[in-house]
Chains A and B, each alone.
Chain A
Amino acid sequence: MIDQLGNGLLLGIIISVASVALSLLYSVTRIVNFAHGEIIALGAIMTLFFSNPVDSRVIYLDRFSPLGLDFVISAFLAVILCGVFGGLLELILFRPLRKAEVGNIAILVVTIGLSIFIRHLYLIFATGRVQNFPLELERRVTYLFFDMTPRNFRVLIAGIIVMVLIGLLLTFTRIGKAMRAVRDSGELASISGINSDNIILITWISSSMLAGLAGIFQGVINDIRYNMGFLILLLVFAGTVLGGIGTSFGAMVGGLLIGIFVQVSVAFPFMEGHIEAKNAVALGLMIVILLFRPQGIFGQKERIS
């Protein structure tokens, strides 16, 4: 079981970063974004696009744009592109919908359609093949009592640092406080002199950058597929709900827990030969926890007056 804990932490950090992004977007805009998975995949696919050497041609796009940049630079560019993409989604699609006062359910359906649409664009342009970043294979090393490759260990550390930074940003900076203010009431924020539209745009950009980063983590730890974001999306939702919808700290912990549940359940005796069912244990546990704590682990019941 301890063997699986390392894997669980790695899966957990992917879900965790993606959950924080999802939760941030939901809490500020009230949008349940099913296209979140596609932004996750965009991070990985763009990194692959930038970093792939000329001759491997695993990606269709390489035929007209062979770049072969350094991996870290590629990842950096990909994260920025994800931010741009998220910003454009808000400006072209979600802001006009909001101004037209389209209901939340309708917007949710829009995000589902968007998810399917973008996913199939990936299928066309990035092919349906399972791919990997052009990185050398590494041997596993033992850290404390977890076994993982040095690269994955660095991903874990990077993920933790990013989440601590997000936490600090939300708590102490002017923009972070404004995001929380818009979360409480967009109208009151406007009355206070805050341009809510700008704050929502910044939220879209930062949420998409985080999602892209989660995708890059997923690509490094596992592999890259056109539907990689969609495959992990359910676990991301689970992490968000488990931690308590709308709390960033909850999403971090919820995401980590879901990842650990999924991987550790592989080691349960009754799971032998049924590894495909590992998500079932994690999601089942989530349901049980929610039965006892409906607002999620860190969610707060509001005082209504």
Chain B
Amino acid sequence: MNNPILECNGIAAGYVKGLNILQGVDLVVSEGEIVSIIGPNGAGKSTLLKAIMGLINISAGRFFIEGLEKTNLPTHKIVNEGVGYVPQVQNVFPSLTIEENLEMGSWSLGKNAKQSINELYQEFPLLEERRKEKAGNLSGGQRQILALARALVTSPKLLLLDEPSAGLSPLAIDDVFKTIKNINLKGVSILLVEQNAKRALKFSNRGYVLDQGRNAYQGTGTDLLDDPRVVDLYLGKL
């Protein structure tokens, strides 16, 4: 097995003090992997990503990035640890232009930002074409691509994606998943939260099933897809 990039041990966290949504989650993402987290609504899938990003307080447990503990680091510092995050909603700055969105994404790079943005444009020609346009005028699918690009400017080692397919048309979903696959092929590990469990598991190396803030099952994507317990509980009849 490759080196672990992210390692969570017994993470407990919640939005309100004394009311934890996550009640001890263990999870590992290794170099070059695509790992997906599935589970019913309210299982704490998105909450886990927010906890890693320092957006909510972790009250128990720890997590490590490349072996170093980073529990409860302020959000703006976790970016420097090589973690990119694309939230489900509000994942672009609507009143800023596309170029300004990418400049904000590359905030921590300082003077090297220009070059990273130019490299990114080579991968996403659409963004370069429309770089002076406001992000708020983009369609849902284009927005999602910009959101991915914004998180990629800093060349993260690990990308956390919160329901990248939510609210998109089938065509746009294909496009987004293709983009994610390409990002992964360039060596970026991916931790993916998805409602569309079937699609996510097919797409991933491994998957975790969360239920009520705890790990329920885990395994390779295809194993989970075939596991009758998972099918019954969370996927519905296939």
Residues of A that sit less than 8 Å from B by CB: 174, 177-178, 180-181, 183-185, 187-196, 300, 302-303, 305
Please state if A302 and B79 are interface contacts (CB–CB under 8 Å): no
Identify which of B74, B93, B136 contacts A181 (C-beta below 8 A): B93
Please state if A177 and B94 are interface contacts (CB–CB under 8 Å): no
Interface positions, chain B 110-146, Cβ under 8 Å from A, are 136-137, 140, 143
On whether A303 and B136 interact (CB within 8 A), knowing A184-B96, A193-B107, the answer reads yes
Identify which of A183, A188, A193, A303 contacts B90 (C-beta below 8 A): A188
Please state if B103 and A177 are interface contacts (CB–CB under 8 Å): yes
Q: Is B76 an interface residue (CB 8 A)?
A: yes
Please state if B96 and A190 are interface contacts (CB–CB under 8 Å): no
Closest A residue to B94 using CB positions:
A184
Majority secondary structure of chain A interface residues (helix, strand, loop or mixed): helix
- Closest approach, in angstroms, between the C-beta of B114 and any C-beta of chain A? 12
On whether A185 and B90 interact (CB within 8 A), knowing A191-B75, A302-B136, the answer reads yes
Identify which of B76, B79, B85, B93 contacts A185 (C-beta below 8 A): B93
Q: Is B221 an interface residue (CB 8 A)?
A: no
Please state if B87 and A183 are interface contacts (CB–CB under 8 Å): no
On whether A178 and B90 interact (CB within 8 A), knowing A191-B79, A192-B79, A302-B136, the answer reads no
- Closest approach, in angstroms, between the C-beta of B202 and any C-beta of chain A? 27
In Å, the complex CA distance between A192 and B109 comes to 11
Please state if B96 and A177 are interface contacts (CB–CB under 8 Å): yes
Interface positions, chain B 136-162, Cβ under 8 Å from A, are 136-137, 140, 143, 150-151, 154
Most chain A CB within 10 A, of B75, B108, B140, is at B75
- Closest approach, in angstroms, between the C-beta of A185 and any C-beta of chain B? 5
Interface positions, chain B 44-67, Cβ under 8 Å from A, are 53, 55
Q: How many residues of B contact A (CB 8 A)?
A: 31
Please state if B94 and A192 are interface contacts (CB–CB under 8 Å): no
A-B contact pairs, 29 of them (CB 8 A): A177-B104, A178-B107, A180-B93, A180-B95, A181-B93, A184-B93, A187-B75, A187-B90, A188-B91, A188-B93, A190-B74, A191-B53, A191-B75, A191-B79, A191-B85, A192-B76, A192-B79, A192-B104, A192-B105, A192-B150, A193-B76, A193-B108, A194-B76, A194-B107, A196-B76, A302-B94, A302-B136, A303-B94, A303-B136
Closest B residue to A195 using CB positions:
B76
Identify which of B91, B96, B150 contacts A180 (C-beta below 8 A): B96
On whether A303 and B137 interact (CB within 8 A), knowing A177-B96, A178-B107, A193-B79, the answer reads yes
On whether A193 and B154 interact (CB within 8 A), knowing A177-B104, A181-B93, A303-B94, the answer reads yes
Residues of chain B lying within 8 A (CB to CB) of residue A303: 94, 136-137
Residues of chain B lying within 8 A (CB to CB) of residue A177: 96, 100, 103-104
In Å, the complex CA distance between A195 and B140 comes to 27
Q: Is B196 an interface residue (CB 8 A)?
A: no
Given A185-B93, A187-B87, A193-B105, output 13 extra A-B contacts at Cβ < 8 Å: A174-B103, A177-B104, A184-B94, A184-B95, A187-B55, A188-B90, A190-B55, A191-B55, A191-B151, A193-B79, A302-B136, A303-B94, A305-B140
Closest B residue to A305 using CB positions:
B140
Q: Is B80 an interface residue (CB 8 A)?
A: yes
Residues of chain B lying within 8 A (CB to CB) of residue A183: 95
In Å, the complex CA distance between A185 and B85 comes to 14
Residues of chain A lying within 8 A (CB to CB) of residue B154: 193
In Å, the complex CA distance between A174 and B93 comes to 15
In Å, the complex CA distance between A189 and B143 comes to 16
In Å, the complex CA distance between A187 and B87 comes to 10
In Å, the complex CA distance between A189 and B53 comes to 12
Residues of chain B lying within 8 A (CB to CB) of residue A180: 93, 95-96, 100
Most chain A CB within 10 A, of B75, B104, B137, B143, is at B104
- Closest approach, in angstroms, between the C-beta of B235 and any C-beta of chain A? 28
Residues of chain B lying within 8 A (CB to CB) of residue A188: 87, 90-93
Most chain A CB within 10 A, of B74, B92, B95, B167, is at B95
In Å, the complex CA distance between A180 and B99 comes to 14
Closest B residue to A247 using CB positions:
B95
Please state if A190 and B75 are interface contacts (CB–CB under 8 Å): yes
- Closest approach, in angstroms, between the C-beta of B61 and any C-beta of chain A? 22
Please state if B80 and A193 are interface contacts (CB–CB under 8 Å): yes
In Å, the complex CA distance between A187 and B140 comes to 20
- Closest approach, in angstroms, between the C-beta of A242 and any C-beta of chain B? 20
Residues of chain A lying within 8 A (CB to CB) of residue B77: 193
